[in-house]
Amino acid sequence: MVPIQATGLAMPSKSTGIATGASRGKGSRPASAEQRLKELGITLPPAPEPFGTYVEAVQTGNLLFLSGMLPTDGHAAKVIGRVGAELDVEAAREAAHLAALNVLAVARQHLGSLDKVTRIVRLGVSVATSGDVRDQPKVADAASDLLQDVFGKDRSPCRLVYGVASLPLGAPVELEVIFEVVSSRSRRQTWAT
């Protein structure tokens, strides 16, 4: 197992004890995504920079598409290996959790605040495996759990999970995310002719 040791990277339990609208009392508002991060004690890592000729996020209308997010720190994979070979499921779950933190960091960098996310539309999870591994959904749950803890159960996405032979940098997991966001005309660019 490869432990991830950095501020804000500890995986929370499924029952975080975060107060939501249902538990805060009648008439009170649910905690915002930014408030939930604080309540969870999560400090997001710096948003990862692209590893090639692409951008990490593209917004069109009210949809924000994120490029494949890896469990990286800087320009290096923090966890390397395949489930069923070099890594067990728990190590891969920790990697998925870190990749999800990178998702949040990129979304915040692009939007200015995670409170602008109105829904997680889709979460795609690729898990590098070796042999007859069938636990890809357990690995993906680590990313899903973090996103649900931050945005709330009512914003949970549809999800696709794939088992693959390898991923960039030798990482065990890669996440693709589409967010629905508050539409903002200021994010649009107009090209002069």
Query: String of b and e for 137-176 (b: at least 16 CB within 10 Å)?
Result: ebbbbbbbbbbbbbbbeebebebebebeeebebebbbbbb
pLDDT greater than 60 at residue 7: no
Check which CATH number belongs to the domain holding 176 and give it.
3.30.1330.40
Residue type, 81: G
In a domain, 96, yes or no: yes
User: How many domains are there within the chain?
Assistant: 1
**If DSSP codes are grouped into helix, strand and coil, which group holds residue 102?**
helix
Predicted confidence at residue 21, as pLDDT, reads 37
User: pLDDT category, 74, cuts 50, 70, 90?
Assistant: confident
In a domain, 144, yes or no: yes
In a domain, 157, yes or no: yes
126-150 pLDDT, tens digit each: 999 998 999 999 999 999 999 999 9
Residue 84: domain span: 71-182
User: pLDDT category, 4, cuts 50, 70, 90?
Assistant: very low
**If DSSP codes are grouped into helix, strand and coil, which group holds residue 96?**
helix
Predicted confidence at residue 11, as pLDDT, reads 53
In the block, tokens 């794939």 appear at: 162
52 DSSP assignment: S
Map 135-192 to HEC letters: CHHHHHHHHHHHHHHHHCHHHCCEEEEEEECCCHHHCCEEEEEEEEECCCHHHCCCCC
In a domain, 1, yes or no: no
Query: What's the length of the chain?
Result: 193
In a domain, 108, yes or no: yes
In a domain, 55, yes or no: no
In a domain, 140, yes or no: yes
Kindly state the tokens that stand for 161: 């999970």
Higher-pLDDT residue of 131, 14: 131
In a domain, 24, yes or no: no
CA–CA gap between residue 22 and residue 140 (Å, rounded): 26
Higher-pLDDT residue of 22, 146: 146
